[in-house]
Structure 1
Amino acid sequence: MPDVSKMKKPDVKLVLLGDMNVGKTSLLHRYMERKFKETVSTVGGAFFLKQWGPYNISIWDTAGREQFHGLGSMYCRGAAAVILTYDVTNWQSLAELEERFLSLTDTANHDCIFAIVGNKADLTDSKAQLSQASDKPSEDQTECEDERTEPQELPACPTPPASPTSLSGVMLHKQVAHEDAIALYGRILRYKGLDEKSSLPAEKMCFETSAKTGYNVDALFETLFDLVLPSILRKRNENQESPTVDLEDYRGVNRKKGKSACC
């Protein structure tokens, strides 16, 4: 674990929410480490620190298991963006976003950006099976911090498709259509009391990804990084207008004054 005293202070926070086994941790490893990892369920939470140009962005991975559910609102506190993640082969994982996880975002920033992400697209879409890991050169990696800690009633999700997921074939049945994610995005905006016409369009904020092949993973994170830049700049301006006092420096100045004082 890196020296805490050398850690850079994050300018803004992103949070991944979603049920267990949808691939949140794998998405994060794919983006940060440029490789796919078979991971175990996250306990509590974990975060990575990503340098994006001159800015530092903390990306929080949260546990999807029921016993850690109460920690979600704590991790979402002050978040500038939330990535609501589901499994495209599992209808219930989309329904859980609305039923269990959306209310946790009440502690996020009032202008929080939401992305709806369907992971495991390689299981249902042949174009997502092609690896994109070599499309871009690996960036200099910022050292990752692996600290583990772990309303309003909305219309219900539509009835899930009748045909079950097939585990026998190479390609699995896709239970969640892109239109279902777009519909959920609209309900999220209404839950937050936001005007759909003045908000970011659903087509831009609903992604299908594959942590295994890297499909659309860079596009997801880099789109969000660009969108949270106004939040970063506003926060920095507020800090400049209301500077904080470093007590250690203040004490050091006082000690020097005391030593130079006349008897």
Structure 2
Amino acid sequence: MAAKKKADLKVIIMGDYAVGKTSFICRYIEGKFKTQEPTIGAAFFLKQWGPYNIAVWDTAGDERYTGLSNFYCRNAGVAILAFDINNVKTFESLWARFTPLLESANKDCLVVIVGTKLDLVTPESREILVEEGKKLSMELNEHIDTSTLSRPPYFETSSLNGHNVKDVFEFVFQHCLPLSDSQRKNQHVSNTVDLYESTKTNSSKKKCC
């Protein structure tokens, strides 16, 4: 068995309970939608991006695991903060519960705001405007040079139909660990979405929420 390689980048995904974080990850990994059980504690996956190894941590949204999320933020180079576009409370909790945890992340940590469940959005159900999401994403990245970003770090996604899910990860990876044109071509040709479940905070089997 080949020796385990140290990750070149650590990505942590946080957000309230039931906003769809694990479904979001699983849509990227498997290319399809699955109904998921709530995450307990956290789950770890490894992504190969060109020559780089990227560790992706999916954390539980339940408040009782907030302390664990703080622990998993350590040395994170990217934080994806997810909320339900149809639920303003999940957006407000990004400020109240999750942004304080970023103090444990790297000083130059890229923060990406991701709205979920876009497929359920109607003019009546939408509780967060696109402009509000973009504004928050720029405010949370004032510690880095945002002129280096290809776009505001805000995405609205659907795990059901896959809208923008892949774009989020490619934006993150290409910003932090840019590939050359030839490397990107090979990446797409080989379709190496090789994230693997590695560990969990308890002994029960992890299902991709």
Alignment of 1:149-160 (within 5 A): none
Residue ranges of structure 2 left out of the alignment (5+ in a row): 179-209
Match of residue 179 from structure 1: 131
Q: What is the distance in 2 between the residues matched to 1:65 and 1:197? A: 31
Deviation at 1:197, TM superposition (A): 6.2
Aligned match for 1:8, one of 5, 9, 19: 5
Verify the 8 A CA contact 1:186 1:196 in the aligned structure 2.
no
Verify the 8 A CA contact 1:14 1:82 in the aligned structure 2.
yes
Q: What is the distance in 2 between the residues matched to 1:102 and 1:183? A: 15
Q: TM-score, normalised by structure 1?
A: 0.63
Q: 1:69 to 1:114 in 2, by over 3 A?
A: same
Structure 2 letter corresponding to 1:219: D
Runs of 4+ displaced beyond 4 Å: 195-199
SS in 1 for 2:112: strand
Match of residue 215 from structure 1: 163
Alignment of 1:37 with 2:38, yes or no, is: no
Match of residue 63 from structure 1: 60
Match of residue 242 from structure 1: none
Q: 1:60 to 1:172 in 2, by over 3 A?
A: farther
Residue ranges of structure 1 left out of the alignment (5+ in a row): 126-170, 231-263
Taking CA–CA contacts closer than 8 Å with sequence separation of 6 or more, which of the two structures ends up with the larger relative contact order? Answer: 2
Larger radius of gyration: 1
CA deviation profile, 1:54-77 (whole Å, cap 9, x unmatched):
111111100100110111111110
Q: 1:7 to 1:196 in 2, by over 3 A?
A: closer
Deviation at 1:112, TM superposition (A): 0.6
Deviation at 1:200, TM superposition (A): 3.7
Verify the 8 A CA contact 2:110 2:141 in the aligned structure 1.
no
SS in 2 for 1:185: helix
Percent identity reads 43
Quick check: which one's strand share is greater? 2
Aligned match for 1:90, one of 87, 91, 98: 87
Q: What is the distance in 1 between the residues matched to 2:158 and 2:144? A: 31
SS in 1 for 2:56: strand
Q: TM-score, normalised by structure 2?
A: 0.78
Match of residue 19 from structure 2: 22
Q: What is the distance in 1 between the residues matched to 2:156 and 2:176? A: 20
Verify the 8 A CA contact 1:121 1:209 in the aligned structure 2.
yes
Q: What is the distance in 2 between the residues matched to 1:197 and 1:226? A: 14
CA RMSD after TM alignment: 2.1
Deviation at 1:40, TM superposition (A): 1.2
Verify the 8 A CA contact 1:211 1:217 in the aligned structure 2.
yes
Q: 1:172 to 1:28 in 2, by over 3 A?
A: farther
CA deviation profile, 1:162-183 (whole Å, cap 9, x unmatched):
xxxxxxxxx8611111111122
Aligned match for 1:106, one of 99, 103, 123: 103
Structure 2 letter corresponding to 1:37: K
Q: What is the distance in 1 between the residues matched to 2:161 and 2:44? A: 22
Alignment of 1:47 with 2:44, yes or no, is: yes
Q: What is the distance in 1 between the residues matched to 2:8 and 2:147? A: 26
SS in 1 for 2:166: helix
